[in-house]
Structure formats: structure tokens, C-alpha cells
């Protein structure tokens, strides 16, 4: 049913640690970065040359873009956000969207092709930095996770306060807040799909050995985080609106508490002992406390 190889940190112990990640409105855990694979060696005798070339071209584009841009994405500053950060995220996300339907062809109707290729990803939240599996569902799971993280990064860019044209206090425009709600919902959809439809496709032994950033609890916590922050923005807009009733505001406040409580329940007992995981856990705890203050 597939096998895996996890490469532990090198003997020097010099793991990547989250440095100065700049201003943050949406905490985004460390991105997972794909490494190159040889589709011709694994699939050359099973698929047409044209299809193998397409798979190779699509994935190579993602490998190159993710390798170049991930460090800047995870350390976003306002300067980056206003100059090219948004387009970088959109381009990489589009590359993943182009790749996913072609990749799904390897797992359609239980195809044995799903076990032919060893897919390798580098983790930023796990002690074993590199995880490789002979299972295309692992690749699908990793792609969905990266797509969701890129959307959360995009939402973070939108929600960073900008200096207004009149030179007064930096603020987030209503247009940006509305756009971020749609992005949060889309990210939550990817993560929900990963939990409900992709994880169950992996054999139990592979699920137990997934890197911690793909653990079911982390995926659920991220999904609930996206939903919680979307409701948080909705509540803020309702508070600013003279048309929103007290009942609407109360309902949104209750929903926000529920999402953050569930997110905390999913992540608190996971072995996130490194810098990324600790910051993520603290972010969710902070947002849960904040939500309770708004809804005593």
C-alpha cells in the first residue's frame, strides 16, 4: 500500500527556525516544500510520453517557485506585500491548481499508478525534515495543504494595516476585509477536503507516520482557524455597521468562540515542540482568549 522514508535532521542540529516573520494578522505555519521527482523513471512504461512530460513540467514549476519564494512568503513585511508578495502567492497557487487535476489522474478508480512514484516534501514543523512516500495520495494531501497555506498568507497580506491616502492612522480597507473572508472560506475548504476525503485514502500505517504538519489534528485546527478568522472579520464589519442588529453581532461572536475553542482542542495535545508549532499554538490560544473577551 506504499512506504515512506523520513530523513531526520542532520547531525549538526541546524534546523530551520522561524526568524523575524514580520507583521502578522494571520499566523501561517511553516510551508511544506516539494523536492524533484523523476516521473519518467517511475511512469515511463505506464503512461504516454506526453502525459509524463506534462506532469514533469507542472511539478517542476512548483518546485522551482516554492523553493525560491517560500522564504520570502513566510517572512512577509509590508514592503513585500505591497510590491510583489500578492502576485507571488497567486502565481504559485495557480501552478498548484494546474497540477492538481493532472495529479488526481494517478489515483482515479484505485489505479496502481498511485504507488509508482516516490513523492518527497521538506517539512518545516517536523523533526524529520524530509518525508518521502510511494503514494500519490500523500502528494495530493501535500498539495492541498500548501494551497491552503498560500491562501492564509494572502489573507495576511490583505489584513496588514496600510497607511491611508490622507496620512492618518494605518487601517485595513473594507474591500480587503471582504476579500479576506472569501479567502479564509476557500482555505478552510481545501483543509476540510484534506481531512474528509484525502486522509482516509492513506493506509493507517502511513497516516501514523505523516509529518506532524499533516497530522489530522493540525489540519483540523488550521481549518477551524480559517473559519474563526473569517467570522472575526465579519464581526468586525458588523460592529462598524449601523445596519447590523445586536442579534447578528451576538451570533457571530458565538460562532467565533466556537471555532477558536475547537481549534485549540485539536492542536493543544499535539507534539508541536519546535518554534513553528509553539508559535502556532500560542496564536490559537490568544485568538481563543480574545474571542471569549468579546463574548463574555
13 inside domain: no
In a domain, 183, yes or no: yes
User: Is 19 within a domain?
Assistant: no
∠ CA 203-206-212 to the nearest 5 degrees? 135
Among candidate residues 117, 150, 121, the one with its CA nearest the CA of residue 29: 150
Percent above pLDDT 90 for the chain:
55
Q: Write the pLDDT tens digit of every residue in 149-178.
A: 999 999 999 998 876 666 667 788 889 999
> Domain for residue 128, yes or no?
yes
Give the predicted TM-score (pTM) of the model: 0.86
Q: Which of 19-33, 51-65, 266-280 has the highest mean pLDDT?
A: 51-65
- Tally of domains in the chain: 1
Please report whether residue 12 resides in a domain.
Answer: no
**What distance in Å separates the CA atoms of residue 19 and residue 16, rounded to the nearest whole number?**
9
CATH code of residue 200: 1.25.40.280
pLDDT value at residue 169: 72
Any domain includes 79:
no
Does residue 18 fall inside a structural domain?
no
* Domain carrying residue 122: 32-74+84-160+171-294
Task: Give the mean model confidence (pLDDT) for residues 21-41.
Answer: 83
Question: For residue 4, is it within any domain?
Answer: no
pLDDT tens per residue across span 188-198:
999 999 999 99
Amino acid at each position: 500500500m506504499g512506504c515512506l522514508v523520513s530523513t531526520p535532521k542532520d547531525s549538526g542540529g541546524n534546523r530551520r527556525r522561524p526568524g523575524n516573520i514580520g507583521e502578522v494578522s494571520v499566523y501561517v505555519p511553516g510551508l511544506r516544500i516539494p523536492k524533484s521527482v523523476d516521473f519518467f523513471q517511475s511512469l515511463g512504461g505506464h503512461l504516454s510520453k506526453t502525459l509524463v512530460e506534462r506532469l514533469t513540467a507542472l511539478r517542476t514549476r512548483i518546485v522551482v517557485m516554492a523553493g525560491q519564494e517560500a522564504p520570502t512568503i513566510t517572512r512577509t513585511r509590508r514592503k513585500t506585500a505591497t510590491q510583489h508578495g500578492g502576485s507571488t502567492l497567486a502565481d504559485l497557487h495557480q501552478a498548484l491548481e494546474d497540477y492538481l487535476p493532472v495529479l488526481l489522474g494517478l489515483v482515479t478508480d484505485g489505479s496502481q499508478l498511485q504507488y509508482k512514484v516516490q513523492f518527497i516534501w521538506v517539512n518545516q514543523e517536523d523533526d524529520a525534515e524530509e518525508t518521502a512516500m510511494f503514494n500519490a495520495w500523500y502528494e495530493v494531501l501535500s498539495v492541498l495543504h500548501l494551497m491552503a497555506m498560500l491562501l492564509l498568507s494572502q489573507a495576511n497580506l490583505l489584513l496588514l494595516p496600510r497607511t491611508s491616502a490622507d496620512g492618518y492612522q494605518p487601517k485595513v480597507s473594507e474591500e480587503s476585509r471582504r476579500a479576506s473572508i472569501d479567502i479564509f472560506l476557500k482555505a478552510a475548504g481545501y483543509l476540510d477536503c484534506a481531512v474528509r476525503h484525502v486522509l482516509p485514502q492513506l493506509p493507517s500505517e502511513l497516516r501514523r507516520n505523516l509529518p506532524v504538519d499533516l497530522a489530522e489534528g493540525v489540519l483540523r485546527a488550521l481549518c477551524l482557524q480559517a473559519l474563526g478568522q473569517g467570522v472575526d472579520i465579519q464581526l468586525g464589519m458588523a460592529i462598524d455597521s449601523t445596519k447590523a442588529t445586536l442579534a447578528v453581532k451576538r451570533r457571530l461572536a458565538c460562532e467565533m468562540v466556537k471555532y477558536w475553542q475547537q481549534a485549540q482542542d485539536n492542536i493543544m495535545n499535539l507534539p508541536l515542540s519546535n518554534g513553528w508549532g509553539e508559535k502556532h499554538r500560542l496564536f490559537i490560544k490568544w485568538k481563543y482568549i480574545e474571542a471569549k473577551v468579546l463574548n463574555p
